[in-house]
Structures are given as structure tokens and as C-alpha cells.
């Protein structure tokens, strides 16, 4: 039992550490505040006019998709942080301490939840200013926000794995982009799936991003959901579980250099 209590307290100590660095490294703050705003504005005003989304204004269609993408990228802070901890030898220090073996990762991913919350708030404000409007009961909107945070948390674990697998912070960054961009772009996030060539369509339809984005459209806009909400929850939990396991295993063996 005391193991469990220590695990929690270690995680909180390290979450606090990740959290403290946010105001102290303002360039990082930029990446999860300004970048999403830029994306919304680019898509709404640059691509928006050219993309046909039957039944929706483009901004309404776009916002759920772009927030999901932002959640997926929220984990970058974890990947960069871990890659840096490895490089600077901090992981060695932590691994020599009598602390929980998962706390370094759990602390970082937990801190991401906080920054993701801030991102969601910013995105919604910017979206509304650009013309987005919710079309669903408050309970659904709240559930949607929780789903976003859950999905973001799952991707923090994906990024934890990326960070631990990379030879440098820079490498973790490009690895992350290579992985996330195809997943988000070949999904229903930015364009209707049936506008894609059939090979891409087949991929887009099974892509978890599509499932989560569809779930968000139903929770925020009242679109017909099917069972995409539960599928989205299941995907998120599955991704989190698999990558948490892989990351902790990797962390235990982490070797500097």
C-alpha cells in the first residue's frame, strides 16, 4: 500500500516539476497557445472556402477536428521533456532514486492534461470568434471536453514512448510530426472522408482519429454518432494502456546517450 501512496506522491512531485517549467520556458507556452490559433485561422480563412462540407459551415466542421489534432500534439511537451531529461542525465538521477518507476512518465503526462485544458479553452474562444457555434446540450459538450482530454492523455503516452526512443529532442520532434500528420490529415478532421481517393478512404475510415473526430462532431454539433463515442473512448483507453506499458518498460532500461 505504501508503494501505491509513494507512486501517487512521486507522480505529483514530478507533475509539479513539469508544470513549473511552463511559465519559465515561454517558447514552449507559445507552441500550445499560438500554434492552435494559427491553425484555426489558416484553415478557416485559407482552405475553408475551397472545402465543401455538406450540412455544415466549414468552421463548424473544422473545430472538432482541429481540437482533436491539437490534443494529439499536446503530448509533444512530454516527448521533448523526456528526450531532454535523457540527454541531461536526469533520467539517471531519477532511476537511482527509490521512487516509483512510472512516476517520471506519469508526472509528465499528467502535466500535459493541464496544458491541454488550456489549449481547449483557447481553441474554443478562437473558434467562436471565427464563427463556430455549439449545437448540443451542455452535458454533451462537457462529455466532449472530457473525451478530448482523455484522447490527449493517450497521445501523451504515445509521445512518452517517442521521447524515450529518440536519440535527441530534435529527433523526437521530427518523429512525432512524421507519425501524427498523416494520421490527422488522412482522417475526417479537415475534409469529408468521401472526398478522398478510395485507398485513402479505406485508411481514413479505420483511423482512430476519424472515430474520435466523428465522436466530437456528435458531442459538439449533434451529428449522428452511431457508436463512435464509445469507440473513441475505447481507442483512447487502449492507446493509453499500450503505450503506457511500452513506455514504462522502455524507461526502466533507458540508457543515456
Ligand X SMILES: Nc1ncnc2c1ncn2[C@@H]1O[C@H](COP(=O)(O)OP(=O)(O)OP(=O)(O)O)[C@@H](O)[C@H]1O
Based on the shown chain and the rule CB under 6 A, indicate whether residue 253 belongs to the binding site for ligand X: no
Of the two residues 5 and 257, which places its CB atom closer to ligand X in the complex?
257
Between CA 204 and CA 206 the distance in angstroms is 6
Find out whether 187 and 207 touch, Cβ atoms under 8 Å: yes
Distance CA 77, CA 69 (A): 15
Residues between 19 and 38 with contacts to other proteins, criterion CB under 8 A? 20-21, 24-25
Residue 168 Cα distances to 119, 131, 136, 241, 245, angstroms? 26, 41, 44, 25, 22
Which of other proteins, ligand X, none does 93 bind, CB closer than 5 to 8 A by kind? other proteins
Burial of 165 (0-12, 13-18, 19+ CB in 10 A): middle
Closer to other proteins by Cβ: residue 128 or 249: 249
Give the span between the Cα atoms of 202 and 88, in whole angstroms.
Answer: 43
By CB under 8 A, tell whether 97 contacts other proteins: yes
Selected range binding other proteins among 34-42, 92-100, 137-145, 199-207, rule: CB under 8 A = 92-100
Nearest residue (beta carbon) to ligand X: 257
Residue 8 as a binder of other proteins (CB under 8 A): the answer is: no
Minimum separation from the CB atom of position 94 to other proteins (A)? 7
> Taken in order 116, 121, 126, 127, is the CA torsion positive or negative?
positive
Q: Which residues, including other chains, have CB under 8 Å from residue 89's CB and lie 6 or more apart?
A: 256
Q: Which is nearer to ligand X, 37 or 86 (CB)?
A: 86
Cell matching residue 210: 476519424
Q: Pick between residue 21 and residue 250 the one whose CB is nearest to other proteins.
A: 21
Nearer to other proteins (CB atom), residue 60 or residue 85: 85
Q: Which residues bind ligand X (CB under 6 A)?
A: 255, 257
Q: Which residues bind other proteins (CB under 8 A)?
A: 6, 9-10, 13-14, 17, 20-21, 24-25, 88-90, 92-99, 103, 255
Amino acid at each position: 500500500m505504501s508503494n501505491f501512496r509513494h507512486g501517487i506522491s512521486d507522480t505529483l512531485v514530478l507533475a509539479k516539476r513539469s508544470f513549473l517549467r511552463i511559465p519559465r520556458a515561454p517558447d514552449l507556452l507559445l507552441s500550445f497557445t499560438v500554434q492552435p490559433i494559427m491553425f484555426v485561422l489558416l484553415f478557416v480563412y485559407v482552405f475553408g472556402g475551397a472545402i465543401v462540407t455538406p450540412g455544415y459551415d466549414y468552421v463548424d466542421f473544422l473545430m472538432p477536428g482541429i481540437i482533436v489534432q491539437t490534443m494529439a500534439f499536446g503530448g509533444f511537451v512530454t516527448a521533448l521533456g523526456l528526450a531532454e531529461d535523457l540527454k541531461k542525465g536526469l533520467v539517471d538521477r531519477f532511476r537511482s532514486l527509490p521512487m516509483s518507476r512510472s512516476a517520471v512518465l506519469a508526472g509528465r503526462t499528467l502535466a500535459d492534461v493541464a496544458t491541454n485544458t488550456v489549449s481547449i479553452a483557447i481553441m474554443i474562444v478562437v473558434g467562436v470568434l471565427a464563427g463556430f457555434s455549439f449545437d448540443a446540450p451542455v452535458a454533451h459538450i462537457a462529455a466532449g471536453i472530457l473525451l478530448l482530454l482523455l484522447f490527449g492523455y493517450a497521445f501523451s503516452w504515445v509521445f512518452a514512448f517517442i521521447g524515450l526512443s529518440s536519440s535527441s529532442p530534435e529527433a523526437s520532434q521530427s518523429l512525432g510530426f512524421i507519425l501524427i500528420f498523416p494520421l490527422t490529415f488522412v482522417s475526417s478532421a479537415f475534409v469529408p472522408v468521401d472526398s478522398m481517393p478510395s485507398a485513402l478512404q479505406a485508411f481514413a475510415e479505420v483511423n482512430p482519429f476519424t472515430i474520435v473526430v466523428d465522436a466530437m462532431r456528435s458531442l459538439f454539433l449533434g451529428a449522428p454518432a452511431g457508436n463512435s463515442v464509445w469507440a473513441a473512448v475505447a481507442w483512447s483507453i487502449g492507446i493509453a494502456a499500450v503505450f503506457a506499458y511500452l513506455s514504462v518498460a522502455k524507461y526502466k532500461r533507458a540508457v543515456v546517450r
